[in-house]
Structure 1
Amino acid sequence: MAILPVSPGISSERSSSSSNDDALDEEKVQKENFRWHRSGRASKTGEWVTIFVLIVVLIMSAMVFVTSDWLHRRSIHVPDNNNTLCRKNLRRNWVELSVDEKHQYIDAVSCLRRKPSRFNSTNMSLYDDFPRIHARVGSYAHQSAPFFAWHRYLIHLYEKTLREECEYEGNLVYWDWTQDWEKPSASSVVTGVANGQFAGLQVHSFGPVDESHCLSRGFWDRVDFDVLGKFLDPERVSKILMLDDYEAFLLALESSAHNAIPQGVGGDFAFHAAPYDPVFFLHHTQVDRLWWTWQQRHPNKKYEYNGANLRGSSIPATLDDVLVTGGFADDVKVREVMSTDGPMMCYGY
């Protein structure tokens, strides 16, 4: 049998074919390995994405909680009230009250108009007593050391009277005007008084000549009121709170944010009988809140009290100076109202 010689071309072709098949197989393996590697990497990437998303969700949740807490602590940072005894007596922002709580407060304030004056004045009510005290005595406390202390005592007496005479069970409330600084005239706190429980309220000037008239809110110019809003800017107020001298802090706050509100609201609020306007007490509770905040931030200066003892006086103020109310209540020494942790006063913000 003749053995046919193998053609070199055929052998080369088969070798080439075999080599190509091996190359294809290797390529398939590489592709498969790449696919599995990519799949594994995708799986790991998916895991990292999931972990990343969870982290973001946790961070966002924490931010929501912190933001909610910040809003609850109002628009400027207010230290926590650490006094467990007085913590229950927290004075709150007006906008945080429920509708029922607002009605309860307004009803109690209106109740004062039906109670007789402690000064036994004819045709005067317990409601009239507070503007009378402010007009006859309180004017001397402005632009001087007792500004904060005297008004703290006044609003304390107001709160005490609401509870004792009108069965009010809540605490004083404040208007945080730093939240309305961009357009204070649009705040829900300063609406008109032509309607509602304070419509027709008779106001007395308690000046040399008693000029009685109905309560008014002038709003001399809403544009001007909004211009005054710059003094209520939270950043501006926060800078004032950073002042570490009592007198400097007092004069800075009184001459700016404090004065901006009565000037902007106008009407009776702009004069010494300002407490006729119910907003007066929301405003001064806010002022007291800022002093309280300053005391909390400067604990070593909680009892710092310097400046003139009265407006226009050159006599240095002391903690033994007396805060008077013209016979409405007991006179007290300044040192008795410097702390809100008791025994005389027990509340926080």
Structure 2
Amino acid sequence: MKVASLALCLLYTAGSLVQAAPTHNNTEAEATKQLNKWQKQYDQYIKASLKTRQTGCTNDNIVKRAEWGSLSAGERKNYIKAVQCLTTKPAKISKSEAPGARSRFDDWDAVHIKLTNNVHFSGLFLHFHRYFLWLYEKALQDECGYKGTQPYWDWTLSWQDPSKSTVFDGSDTSMGSNGKYIPNRNGTAISAFGLHAVIPPATGGGCVYSGPFQNHSVNLGPVAYAPYGPDGGLGYYPRCLARDLAPGFSNQTKPSDVVHVIRDTDDLYTFDDVFEGLTGVHAGGHFQMGGTGIDAFASPGDPAFYLHHAQVDRVWTLWQDLKPEERRNQVFGTSTAFNNPPSANITLDTEVDFDVLAPKKKISDLVSTVDGPFCYQYV
């Protein structure tokens, strides 16, 4: 049950930060082998399933989403340039809806803030974020001339120390550094979905100080922690991009943790319960980023959010395509967090709202990465 997962999270986050515990190297090595095996199986399935297609998504037009560290320096710089371009384009969301939005980049943050209580801990979480991410990728391509695809951040490669990830190493081909270290801090009290917890201080806490996003302005939020932004987080509250890289939380994203969520769940409700629970790998990704990333509402203000959620989508895709005929069309739950307030059960005909980003989409259009609007695979 999700409530049980959340109760465990409250116990975990209320304490002091625990550094990554010593692990049996063999366990993680074996888990990595298993993930590589599933990746290969997935690659073969996609190729075989598209082999006879002549229209729609085919082996000739499918695009590949790759891990950030596998991209060349030039490819990473092109992605960074496109993200920075999006921050210079005017927002499309109306001032009455999000008076603080200043850019197209802010449109995604604003929509996420508005819809958070519907698309987390509900039957919409995975489907919503899949299309939300695809729309972001399309904006980078169509509005900023980006020729590549949305990369993902494989947490299992840097779970022992996220600061050593190519995503956060602070180089000019990264998504920026850790935040500047602030000593003697208290934990950050967060509140979301009627729950309350304290996130302990970690290795940073201040503004990102090196790399392409050291001057990035976060304009919306915070919503889940103080000092709260105006207008429910939708007002203008410009500040630096903050991070607090936390090995205590990256310890939730070990190879064995990802193996567990894929191997030990056999229906979408159970998968989401383990995956989205706050002691799971999804939260582990957010919480190890710290800073802006721990706000359940306004975390898209950190450009690394999209690499994290590409990995979220990748893990779901690997799980789906182990048993595609059984799993792709599974639904569960309702369209409100913990069904509070009560809402209708999700069906394949349920329409998912994307506000100013795009017209509503039926769940049935969002179940497969090679059908509906999609034609991509993870490599």
**TM-score (structure 1 length as normaliser):** 0.73
CA distance in 1, matches of 2:167, 2:212: 14
Report the 3-state secondary structure (helix = DSSP H, G, I; strand = E; otherwise coil) of the residue aligned with 2:347.
coil
Give the letter aligned to residue 102 of structure 1.
R
The answer for the alignment partner of 2:89 in structure 1 is 115
Q: 1:202 maps to what in 2?
A: 217
- The residue type paired with residue 164 of structure 1 is D
2:254 aligned residue: 233
Report matched runs for 1:201-220 at 5 Å: 201-203=216-218, 204-205=220-221, 207-208=231-232, 210=235, 212-219=237-244
Gaps of 5+ in 2: 1-28, 52-57, 169-176, 179-207, 222-228
Any gaps of 5 or more consecutive residues in structure 1?
Answer: 1-66
Aligned equivalent of 1:34: none
Aligned residue identity for 2:125 = F
1:7 corresponding residue in structure 2: none
CA distance in structure 2 between the aligned counterparts of 1:270 and 1:338, rounded to whole angstroms: 27
What SS does structure 2 have at the residue aligned with 1:131?
helix
Residues 119 and 337 in structure 2, CA contact (< 8 A), matched pair in contact too: yes
**Fraction of identical pairs, as percent:** 30
Q: Answer yes or no: is the 8 Å Cα contact 1:74–1:176 preserved in 2.
A: no
* Change beyond 3 A, Cα 1:347–1:164: same
The aligned residue for residue 305 of structure 2 is 280
Task: Write the deviation string for residues 19-58 of structure 1: whole angstroms up to 9, x where unpaired.
Answer: xxxxxxxxxxxxxxxxxxxxxxxxxxxxxxxxxxxxxxxx
Could you tell me how far apart the structure 2 residues matched to 1:228 and 1:140 are?
25
Q: Report deviation, 1:187.
A: 1.8
The aligned amino acid for 1:249 is: F
Q: Choose which of 166, 175, 180 in structure 1 pairs with 2:144.
A: 166
What is the aligned partner in structure 1 of residue 123 from structure 2? 145
Give the partner amino acid of 1:208: G
The aligned residue for residue 130 of structure 1 is 108
Question: Do the aligned partners of 1:217 and 1:265 also contact (CA within 8 Å) in 2?
Answer: no
Counterpart CA distance in 2 for 1:322 and 1:99 is 40
Question: Matched residue of 2:321: which SS?
Answer: helix
Q: Which amino acid aligns with 1:244?
A: D
Structure 2 match to 1:249: 271
RMSD: 2.3
Equivalent pair of 1:176/1:286 in contact (CA under 8 Å): yes
Choose from 362, 374, 377 the match for 1:333: 362
| Structure 1 residue ranges, 4+ long, deviating more than 6 angstroms after superposition | none
Q: Distance in 2 between matches of 1:276 and 1:309?
A: 24
Change (3 A) 1:195 1:226: closer
Residues 254 and 184 (structure 1), Cα distance of their counterparts in 2 relative to 1, 3 Å cut: same
Partner residue, 1:90 = 64
Deviates more, 1:77-86 or 1:156-165: 77-86
Instruction: Flag the structure with higher helix content.
Output: 1
Secondary structure at the counterpart of residue 134 of structure 2? helix
Residue type of the alignment partner of 2:242: R
What residue number does 2:321 align with? 296
Cα distance, 1:259 vs structure 2: 0.5
Residue 184 of structure 2 corresponds to residue 184 of structure 1: no
- Name 1:312's counterpart in structure 2: 338
Q: 1:74 offset after TM fit, Å? A: 6.7
CA distance in 2, matches of 1:228, 1:327: 33
Larger CA Rg, structure 1 vs 2 = 1
The letter of the residue matching 1:77 is: W
1:259-270 → structure 2 map (5 Å cutoff): 259-270=283-294
With over 3 angstroms needed to count, the CA separation of the structure-2 counterparts of 1:88 and 1:344, relative to structure 1, is: closer
What is the number of equivalent residue pairs in this alignment? 276
Contact 2:157/2:165 (CA < 8 Å) preserved in 1? no
Partner of 1:124, secondary structure, is coil
- C-alpha distance in 1 between matches for 2:274 and 2:110: 27
Question: If each structure's strand is expressed as a fraction of its own residues, which one has the higher value?
Answer: 2
Q: How far does residue 75 in structure 1 lie from its aligned partner after superposition?
A: 5.2
- Counterpart CA distance in 2 for 1:335 and 1:212 is 37
Q: Could you tell me how far apart the structure 1 residues matched to 2:135 and 2:84 are?
A: 16
CA deviation map 1:123-160 (0-9, x unaligned): 61101111111111134211111110000010010011
**How far apart, CA to CA, are the structure 2 residues paired with 1:154 and 1:288?**
11
Distance 1:112 1:305, change over 3 A: same
Residue number in structure 1 paired with 2:10: none
CA distance in 2, matches of 1:74, 1:102: 24
Structure 1 CA distance for aligned equivalents of residues 103 and 140 of structure 2? 13
Between the aligned partners of 2:123 and 2:257, the Cα distance in structure 1 is 22
Deviation at 1:171, TM superposition (A): 0.8
Is 2:360 the partner of 1:345? no
| Cα pair 1:76 1:234 within 8 Å, conserved | no
Cα distance per residue 1:49-99 (max 9 Å; x no partner): xxxxxxxxxxxxxxxxxx9xx99x975732113235156401000000000
Q: Secondary structure at the match of 2:133?
A: helix
